[in-house]
Amino acid sequence: MIDIHSHILPGLDDGAQTEADLLNMAKAAIDDGITTIVATPHHQNGSYQNKRQEIFTATEIANNILKTHELDLKILPGQECRIYGELIEDLEKGEILPINESKYVFIEFPSAQVPRFSKKLLYDLQLSGKVPVIVHPERNQVLMKKPDMLYDFVKNGTLTQVTAASVAGKFGKKIKEFSLDIIEANLTHFVASDAHNITNRGFHMIDAYDVIREEFGEDLVYFFRENAAYLVEDDHVMIEQPMPVKKKKLFGLF
């Protein structure tokens, strides 16, 4: 299994802090069926910068540590970019790292905002030859209230990735329900852990796929797992026709 979103590289952001954290997270990932994991340290989020070459170096060191400890897990380089106005310019300057040097770029919104310039930036990013992937849209307060905004992004070519813990119910009932709503509406294309540690921000990939299998069947599990492989190989991912999220009739989110 491939996990395309994690904070496993020690000392770069709010994920793993030490070599011991790296090893503990690696063991937990392996226990959760993960064989390949993309390290996606934050860029332009608070005090974190983490430019391209720093991530390459940290990834190489981490892989060597795992090899020394005979842990069968491969780490690939990536980055999680908080959306900002100069993102495309910095990408062109080589300061931002797409996932495993592919055309896919992770875009993070602030948890309580969708900036006004987002639609234009996501469009311009595609014009530049990249494919934006909005991470954890199910935890964004604006998108939860206005799911048609997410539909508009996806309809216009942006991809999204939901968090395994959200699907598994680890962030509460409302976030789980919204996660399932956007899965049902074909508004997401990847499931990933966004793991930061082994305590309160773990992997939960098997748990998430069990929920998806129960709710939607094995074909959708295959869809998400194959798309993760296509992404890291810089191949075209599978896309289903997006639909607006169904309105709730009683006591729902909308």
Segment 4-24 shows an average pLDDT of 97
Closest CA to 79 of 161, 4, 154, 18: 4
Higher-scoring residue by pLDDT: 154, 44: 154
At 250, the pLDDT band (50, 70, 90 cuts) reads very low
Res 251: pLDDT? 47
2 pLDDT more than 60: yes
The domains of the chain, with CATH numbers, are 2-232 (3.20.20.140)
pLDDT of 45 reads 63
Query: pLDDT exceeding 70 applies to what percent of the chain?
Result: 96
Residue 9 · residue 196 · CB < 8 Å = no
Average pLDDT over residues 41-52: 81
- DSSP letters spanning 139-186: G-HHHHH-HHHHHHHHHTT-EEEEEHHHHTTTT-HHHHHHHHHHHHTT
Q: What is the per-residue pLDDT across 127-186, written as a single tens digit (0 to 9) for each? A: 999 999 999 999 999 999 999 999 999 999 999 999 999 999 999 999 999 999 999 999
Q: Is the pLDDT of residue 7 over 80?
A: yes
Question: What's the mean per-residue pLDDT of the chain?
Answer: 95
Is 254's pLDDT higher than 90? no
How confident is the model at residue 49, as a pLDDT? Answer: 80
Confidence of residue 61 (pLDDT cuts 50, 70, 90): very high
